[in-house]
Amino acid sequence: MYRNVFGEKVSRRRYKEMLNAAKNRRELIAAGLTGRRDLLKMGLLTASGMLVAKGGLSARAQVAATPSTPQTSPGSFNVCQPGNQAASPPTRAFIEPLPIMPLARTVPASSLSPAPTIAPNTAGGEVRAASHQAPLLNSGMFPFPPPRVYQVHQHAIQVSQSPDLPIQTIWGFDDGFHATSPGPTYQANYGISQLVRNINALPPVNQNGGFGMPSVTTHLHNGHTPSESDGNPCDFYPRGNFCDQYYPNVLAGFNSDHFPTGDINESLSTLWYHDHRVDFTAQNTYKGLLGFYCLFNEFDDTGDESTGFHLPSFPQFDIPLAFADKVYDPSSGLLAFDLFNLDGILGDKFLVNGRIQPFFEVQPRRYRFRLLDTGPSRFYQFFLTDLTNMGAQNPFFVIANDGNLLPAPVRVNSVRIGVAERVDIIIDFKNFAGKTVYLENRLRQINGMGPVPPQGLVPGQVECSDAFGNLLSDTVPAGQGNLLLQFRVSGTPVTDGSADPNIDHITYYQLPDTTATPRVTRTFRFDRLNGQWSINGQFMDCNHFRFRVQQNSVENWILFNATGDWTHPIHIHLEEHQILSRNRVPPPLAVERSRKDVTQLHQNERVLLFFRFRDWLGKYPIHCHNVIHEDHAMMGLWNVEPHGDTVLVP
Amino acid sequence: MTNRSRREFLGALGVAPVVAGGLSMIPASVTGAPVASAADRAQEQAREAARLRYFPNLTLHTQDDKKVRFYDDLIKGKVVTINFFYAKCDDVCPIVTSNLVKVQELLGDQVGRQVFMYSFSLKPAEDTPRALKEYAKMHGVKPGWTFLTGKPEDLERLRRTLGFTTPDLRADKDVTNHIGNIRYGNEPLMLWGATPGMASPEWIAESIEWMIRPDAIRLPHRHPADRPDNSRSEHKHHEHPPGDRASHVG
């Protein structure tokens, strides 16, 4: 009997292909045969430079070459690789444990050299746009230096992303105690401000390993952050320089409509940090520059299941999960990035917390998972799959959207997110005791345009298809999507101190009121003009600020998708928004009646958003978070100022 | 785009100026010499992989009817810009071309020395070297910017390889709908980005400058509400009002 990497029975012929693929690849790597002449000699390369689709170089290449026979085995990757992208080498799944990112550790403020300053220390190598607003505003509330200080180097790290691939040199964050990618997780608390010294210690520019710009600016995604610490795309700095980023960890409204404590209903919870270097964000985040920032409060979202909302305790039962899809060079096995892509990049390998298809041993109880789509361009629709009972719906609870606790938990069979969106879910493994279940992505996506339309694909309209060509749906049947993460559920019963959303009448945070009259309603038309991604016909330009929002005012923004069949995850910095309507109808999904910082702008859609811009001043961007679109200018800068303008189409 | 951009080019590409602030902040374990040699090998491998994937060494013709090889003569070892156009295009091309003329002016005598600009024909059958030469002359193109034509199948291969395509097959066949972006890159450093051809010439030029001096510091714009402080009061960016299109990095 022959089995594939998923432990399933396969034919003898298929098994031989798999073995050949692995053998060929090992031989190539062992012999150092990656040069053109060597490959030519081996007969693996044509004179024109294309890799020969030699049977066995990649087992997937053969499957992909015969789309008429859908590959239906669980965990198969139905990815169309456009253009000249070769398929990744085969890798085994679910043989290595899920990495859990370490918690970031503080250092004494006195250990920073040079000492942190409120004004940017330009002479000392700091690149920061302005003085720290928070301690200047209220030094009692925001002391300087703050109670928690971190010093983080960004540098090259060597990691294993699969035992079937060589060691990868990627970029990560190092807090002085751990150097990882995703970087160390910040366990932050409301009421305790913190400073992160971010030092660019990346390799020299001539050692980027094929892609990546060693010039950085680290954005705290969804932070209610003063602009000088926000990680603006234009505030990047080269190696040898640093930026001190001051995170006040304060509730929105503290200096405006909910003086002086802020609005508890604006509590944030699952944030993440990532590189935001203008034009190079896709490469730099793909190379590893990202991590989690979990923000707790002392009342409700405490991280302790015996208090507050009784959410599963952090970090034992509250697990951040960073999803990424990547491609590896079939000859070298090294991480590859398509440098010449305008539309969006899809990978055929799925990583969770930096490892390809890991497993996670869980107890038969409730867990909170913080799901993050790190991109570059893929949308996910997560299902819980039991391969021994494919017909079953395995519901779970969504408790937070973009890291913001909902008014109440929402029971779902699946949840869909786009790049940079987060969704916190509670899975109760009690009913799966002793079993193995999977987190599965069943969403069909074949290129950078976004998920296929709900009615399926129109044959011949796009460059490539998937193995489900004629399926009239945007999702695939259970077990035929991408198995991302395997849960091995222990059979030993345990006590569970967390609240059960199934039986308890749980409520979290009420949505802030959205009836206030907007000072101005602005329109943002997301378009594609001759392949040039634009907002209102204009392009990203670090020297051009498009409009001025008045501090502590209400605005409505209309996001209009003029790109037809494309879907864009639109992100706005500083303040969260609520979706008032999609095509003039309130959002139909309960999970979307929430506070958001990324809104999926679906095909041919017009979305109306409600904002309150409070507390901080300065420059922020609005942009598409398909990072390929973002890097190709689908972004605009604006300012928050004491006096705003009323430009309607900025 | 004056003093900074006209500085002497730094010898071999990739040798960066030591910038303000301490490289001492980088731990020794990160800068150790053995790492560098392994990284050098990895770099050569990655460069070779990029060459195989993106830069077929096709024979093309310049506007002076000179034969050139795409990789050997145009790309290898250079900082370049790449765009696609055709001479009789009256949609996006005239805007992009006139933008690039301004970019060429802004980059000054770096063009042809540190930066090489290339425009590839989408209609090589009608864009003869002579037609390209007329086009270049009409737009006031200066040396260092080369227009290229060749066999239609070769130009089509380049267009696809370099990603000047759209996944919608109908749109991709419509040449008036062609991609108006400009690729900029540094081949030996494997730095590649892109900018819309209709972006402001100053912004396009600044993006290209990153490829020449990737380690240069770009002092960030301050926001208008920020109070001046001692260390930065001499910096000029914050004096520009927001929305002032004319304000650019000097």
CA proximity to B213, closest of B191, B235, B182: B191
Q: How confident is the model at residue B226 (pLDDT cuts 50, 70, 90)?
A: low
Which residues from chain A sit within 8 angstroms of residue B229, using beta carbons? 118-119, 131
Residues A277 and A213: their CA atoms lie apart, in Å, by 8
Interchain CB contact of B177 with A (< 8 Å): yes
* The pLDDT of residue A50 is above 50: no
The burial class, CB within 10 Å (0-12 / 13-18 / 19+), for B137 is: exposed
Q: Do A449 and B227 touch (CB under 8 A)?
A: no
Q: Do A532 and B198 touch (CB under 8 A)?
A: yes
Q: Do B14 and A546 touch (CB under 8 A)?
A: no
| Cβ atoms of B176 and B170 closer than 8 Å | no
Interchain CB contact of B71 with A (< 8 Å): no
Select from B190, B230, B235, B239 the residue whose CB has the most chain A CBs within 10 Å, as the one to mutate to test that interface.
Answer: B190
Q: How confident is the model at residue A500 (pLDDT cuts 50, 70, 90)?
A: very high
> Could you read off the pLDDT of B121-156 as tens digits, one per residue?
999 999 999 999 999 999 999 999 999 999 999 999
How do A218-221 and B59-62 pair as beta strands? unpaired
The burial class, CB within 10 Å (0-12 / 13-18 / 19+), for B174 is: exposed
Residue B226: DSSP 8-state? S
* The pLDDT of residue A59 is above 50: no
* The pLDDT of residue B9 is above 70: no
Residues A300 and A218: their CA atoms lie apart, in Å, by 29
Select from A338, A339, A542 the residue whose CB has the most chain B CBs within 10 Å, as the one to mutate to test that interface.
Answer: A339
Task: Identify which has the larger pLDDT, A593 or B17.
Answer: A593
Q: A520-641: which CATH topology? A: Immunoglobulin-like (2.60.40)
Q: How confident is the model at residue A25 (pLDDT cuts 50, 70, 90)?
A: very low
* The pLDDT of residue A72 is above 50: no
B positions 46-65 inside 8 Å of A (CB): 46-54, 56
* The pLDDT of residue B22 is above 50: no
Q: How far from B96 is each of A265, B92, B100, B123, CA to CA, in Å? A: 49, 6, 6, 17
Interchain CB contact of B128 with A (< 8 Å): no
Residues A59 and A5: their CA atoms lie apart, in Å, by 12
Which sequence spans correspond to the domains of chain B? 51-212
Count how many Cα atoms sit within 13 Å of the Cα of residue B100 in the half-sphere of its side chain: 36
Which residues from chain A sit within 8 angstroms of residue B51, using beta carbons? 36
Residues whose CB is less than 8 angstroms from the CB of residue A541 and which lie 6 or more positions away in sequence, other chains included: A637, B199, B200, B203
CA proximity to A377, closest of A442, A445, A440, A327: A445
Which pLDDT value is given to residue B167? 85
Which pLDDT value is given to residue A47? 31
* The pLDDT of residue A531 is above 70: yes
Mean pLDDT across the stretch A311-322? 98
Interchain CB contact of B34 with A (< 8 Å): no
For residue B56 the two structure tokens come to 């077929």
For residue B41 the two structure tokens come to 């090998």
Residues whose CB is less than 8 angstroms from the CB of residue A51 and which lie 6 or more positions away in sequence, other chains included: A39, A44, A45, A57, A86, A330, A331
Which pLDDT value is given to residue A87? 86
Q: How far from B196 is each of A455, A507, B95, B127, B246, CA to CA, in Å? A: 33, 47, 11, 23, 19
Domains A67-97+320-489 and A520-641 share a fold: yes
Which pLDDT value is given to residue A260? 95
DSSP string for A246-268: EE----TTTTTTTTTT--GGG--
Task: Identify which has the larger pLDDT, A14 or A647.
Answer: A647
B positions 88-107 inside 8 Å of A (CB): 91-92
B positions 218-247 inside 8 Å of A (CB): 218-227, 229-232, 242-245, 247
CA proximity to B191, closest of B78, B38, B30: B78
| Cβ atoms of A538 and A573 closer than 8 Å | no
Which pLDDT value is given to residue B91? 83
> Could you read off the pLDDT of A83-116 as tens digits, one per residue?
556 789 999 999 999 999 999 999 999 999 999 9
> Could you read off the pLDDT of A129-178 as tens digits, one per residue?
999 999 999 999 999 999 999 999 999 999 999 999 999 999 999 999 99
How do B79-85 and B115-121 pair as beta strands? parallel
* The pLDDT of residue A76 is above 60: no
For residue A247 the two structure tokens come to 């995170």
When mean pLDDT is compared across A23-27, A39-43, A621-625, B126-130, the lowest value belongs to: A39-43
Separation in Å, CA of B60 to nearest CA in chain A: 15
The number of beta carbons lying within 10 Å of the beta carbon of residue B51 is 18
Which pLDDT value is given to residue B36? 59
Interchain CB contact of A128 with B (< 8 Å): yes
Which pLDDT value is given to residue B85? 97
Interchain CB contact of A340 with B (< 8 Å): yes
* The pLDDT of residue B236 is above 60: no
Q: How confident is the model at residue B176 (pLDDT cuts 50, 70, 90)?
A: confident
Q: A67-97+320-489: which CATH topology? A: Immunoglobulin-like (2.60.40)
Residues A190 and B88: their CA atoms lie apart, in Å, by 61
Task: Identify which has the larger pLDDT, B80 or B176.
Answer: B80
Average pLDDT across chain B, whole number: 81
* The pLDDT of residue A217 is above 50: yes
Amino acid identity at A424: D
Residues A500 and A384: their CA atoms lie apart, in Å, by 18
Which sequence spans correspond to the domains of chain A? 67-97+320-489, 109-314, 520-641
DSSP string for A362-376: E-SSEEEEEEEE--S
Amino acid identity at A323: F
| Cβ atoms of A198 and A176 closer than 8 Å | no
SS3 state at A343? coil
Q: Do A340 and B199 touch (CB under 8 A)?
A: no
| A-B Cβ pairs (cutoff 8 Å, strict) | 297
Residue A315 preceded by cis peptide, ω within 30:
yes
| Cβ atoms of A233 and A621 closer than 8 Å | yes
Which pLDDT value is given to residue A9? 57
Which pLDDT value is given to residue B162? 95
Interchain CB contact of B10 with A (< 8 Å): no
Which pLDDT value is given to residue A503? 87
* The pLDDT of residue B13 is above 60: no
Q: Do A235 and B206 touch (CB under 8 A)?
A: no
> Could you read off the pLDDT of A271-283 as tens digits, one per residue?
999 999 999 999 9
Q: How far from A106 is each of A152, A173, A177, A314, A340, CA to CA, in Å? A: 10, 14, 10, 18, 40
Q: Which of A205, A235, A529 sits opposite B16 (nearest CB)?
A: A205
Which pLDDT value is given to residue B40? 86
Q: Which of A234, A341, A548 sits opposite B221 (nearest CB)?
A: A234
When mean pLDDT is compared across A349-358, B8-17, B77-86, B213-222, the lowest value belongs to: B8-17
Residues A464 and B167: their CA atoms lie apart, in Å, by 8
Residues A527 and A514: their CA atoms lie apart, in Å, by 28
* The pLDDT of residue A123 is above 80: yes
Which residues from chain A sit within 8 angstroms of residue B245, using beta carbons? 544
Residues A90 and B86: their CA atoms lie apart, in Å, by 43
Instruction: Find tokens 């009259």 and name the residue.
Output: A517
Mean pLDDT across the stretch A521-548? 96
> Could you read off the pLDDT of A237-272 as tens digits, one per residue?
999 999 999 999 999 999 999 999 999 999 999 999
- Architecture, CATH, for domain B51-212: 3-Layer(aba) Sandwich (3.40)
* The pLDDT of residue A545 is above 50: yes
* The pLDDT of residue A514 is above 50: yes
| Cβ atoms of B47 and B190 closer than 8 Å | yes
Which pLDDT value is given to residue A467? 80
For residue B250 the two structure tokens come to 């000097």
> Could you read off the pLDDT of A388-438 as tens digits, one per residue?
999 999 999 999 999 999 999 999 999 999 999 999 999 999 999 999 999
Residue A312: DSSP 8-state? P
Residues whose CB is less than 8 angstroms from the CB of residue B56 and which lie 6 or more positions away in sequence, other chains included: A48, A49, B70, B71, B157, B158, B161
Q: How confident is the model at residue B222 (pLDDT cuts 50, 70, 90)?
A: confident
Which pLDDT value is given to residue A77? 36
Mean pLDDT across the stretch B18-34? 47
Q: What is the CATH number of domain A109-314?
A: 2.60.40.420
Which pLDDT value is given to residue B122? 97
Which residues from chain A sit within 8 angstroms of residue B225, using beta carbons? 617-618, 641-642
Residues A412 and A449: their CA atoms lie apart, in Å, by 26
Which residues from chain B sit within 8 angstroms of residue A533, using beta carbons? 196
Q: How confident is the model at residue A476 (pLDDT cuts 50, 70, 90)?
A: very high
Average pLDDT across chain A, whole number: 89
Which residues from chain A sit within 8 angstroms of residue B234, using beta carbons? none
Q: Which of A203, A534, A546 sits opposite B243 (nearest CB)?
A: A546
